């Protein structure tokens, strides 16, 4: 290309430059607008209400608390629990948060939401171990397990957990207003757990699996000897040991039964059972039962 031709080309480009600039400016505006329209069409959440930034007015903690109480009075335990839970979210690490968590636990317990109440109670105990209300939170957790204890034919995990927390209450907070009821509930849950062992022991005894039966009745005497099941457990041990041919232990079980429950029907039955084999109750001081019952007195 000649110098003259090259100059004319650059001259033409220079003349066209302003037009190009204007076109680019228009394109720069049009493309984003088109893009926004396309993205909006592709957005599966688009087409609805437009998000607007709003500052919600602060609701005082006292007002939320009163709303929760009002729902409790209206027997709306679930609604009350949600209101009290708001206090923890809106006023974390405050006295209102602590108070709201306890009331949330109570509301869940009152509404029969026992698993939720247990979780809330455990959280309270862990966050506020020295709070004056901590024994009450623990008591609510124990009662939540207690109210879910099934009959003795089913798994007794809830009874075991209730027993553990009730025991903790009596040991850690012995002067609290919940300790006395906890002691009573301990006896009830221990009786329930003993009843489960008795149920399984009878099952084995009826199938003449005497060794397995002995292990279950021995568990009753070893762990739950102060419950009402001890009397029958001693008779069942007499039966099981007779079935195994271990007559000395059968005689010991019957003798201890007679020492502690002389007027009971179980002792009369044990005495009759031994007589069928030409035996009578006689305690062997070296037996595990004798050693165990030296530590425990029944009345």
Q: Residue 268: how many CB atoms within 10 A of its CB? A: 15
In sequence order, the 6+-apart residues with CB closer than 8 A to the CB of 280 are: 251, 271, 274
- The region of weakest confidence among 23-32, 131-140, 249-258, 279-288 is 23-32
Among the listed residues 117, 134, 116, the one whose alpha carbon sits nearest the alpha carbon of residue 125 = 134
pLDDT at residue 203 greater than cutoff 60? yes
pLDDT value of residue 88: 83
1: Cβ contacts below 8 Å, ≥ 6 apart: 9
Q: What end-to-end distance do the CA atoms of the chain give, in Å?
A: 126
Residue closest to 134 by CA, chosen among 121, 151, 118: 121
The yes-or-no verdict on residue 121 having pLDDT over 80 is yes
- Report pLDDT for 296: 60
| Assigned CATH topology for domain 59-134 | 1.25.40
Cβ distance 256 to 293 under 8 Å?
yes
**Predicted confidence band of residue 249 (pLDDT cuts 50, 70, 90):** very high
Give how far the C-alpha of residue 85 lies from the chain's centroid of Cα atoms, to the nearest Å: 19
Give Cα 226 distance to the centre of its chain.
27
Give the tens place of pLDDT for each residue, 78-101. 999 999 999 988 999 899 999 999
The CATH 1.25.40.10 portion of the chain extends over 59-134
Locus of tokens 């939401």: 113
Dihedral sign, Cα of residue 209, residue 212, residue 218, residue 224: negative
Question: How far apart are alpha carbons 104 and 86 in whole angstroms?
Answer: 10
The string of DSSP codes covering 216-285 is: HHHHHHHH-TTSTTHHHHHHHHHHHHHHHT-HHHHHHHHHHHHHH-TTSHHHHHHHHHHHTTT------T
Is residue 253 a contact partner of residue 239, using CB atoms and an 8 Å limit?
A: no
Is 0.85 topped by the overall pTM?
no
Mean pLDDT score, 285-299 = 80
pLDDT at position 190: 98
Task: Give me the pLDDT at residue 295, please.
Answer: 65
Between CA 97 and CA 103, with CA 99 as vertex, the angle to 5 degrees is 115
Q: Is there a contact between 96 and 108 (Cβ–Cβ < 8 Å)?
A: no
* pLDDT higher than threshold 60 for residue 299: no
Confidence of residue 42 (pLDDT cuts 50, 70, 90): very low
| Across 19-33, average pLDDT | 38
Element (H, E) at 257: helix 247-260
């Amino acid at each position: 290309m000649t110098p003259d031709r090259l100059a004319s080309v650059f001259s033409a480009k220079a003349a066209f430059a302003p037009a190009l600039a204007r076109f680019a400016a228009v394109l720069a505006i049009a493309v984003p607008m088109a893009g926004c329209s396309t993205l909006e069409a592709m957005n599966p959440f688009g087409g609805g209400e437009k998000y607007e930034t709003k500052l919600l007015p602060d609701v005082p903690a006292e007002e939320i608390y009163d709303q929760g109480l009002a729902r409790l009075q209206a027997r709306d335990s679930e609604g009350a629990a949600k209101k009290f839970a708001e206090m923890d979210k809106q006023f974390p690490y405050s006295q209102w948060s602590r108070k709201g968590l306890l009331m949330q636990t109570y509301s869940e317990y009152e509404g029969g939401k026992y698993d939720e109440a247990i979780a809330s109670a455990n959280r309270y105990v862990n966050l506020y171990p020295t709070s004056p209300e901590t024994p009450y939170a623990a008591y609510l957790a124990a009662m939540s397990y207690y109210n879910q204890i099934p009959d003795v034919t089913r798994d007794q995990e809830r009874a075991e957990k209730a027993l553990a927390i009730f025991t903790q209450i009596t040991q850690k907070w012995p002067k609290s207003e919940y300790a006395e009821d906890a002691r009573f509930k301990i006896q009830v849950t221990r009786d329930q757990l003993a009843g489960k062992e008795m149920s399984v022991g009878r099952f084995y005894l009826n199938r003449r699996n005497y060794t397995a039966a002995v292990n279950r009745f021995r568990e009753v005497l070893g762990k739950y000897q102060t419950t009402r099941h001890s009397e029958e457990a001693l008779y069942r041990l007499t039966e099981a040991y007779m079935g195994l041919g271990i007559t000395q232990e059968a005689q010991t079980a019957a003798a201890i039964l007679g020492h502690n429950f002389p007027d009971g029907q179980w002792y009369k039955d044990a005495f009759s059972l031994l007589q069928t084999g030409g035996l009578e109750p006689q305690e062997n001081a070296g037996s595990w039962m004798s050693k165990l019952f030296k530590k425990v007195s029944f009345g």
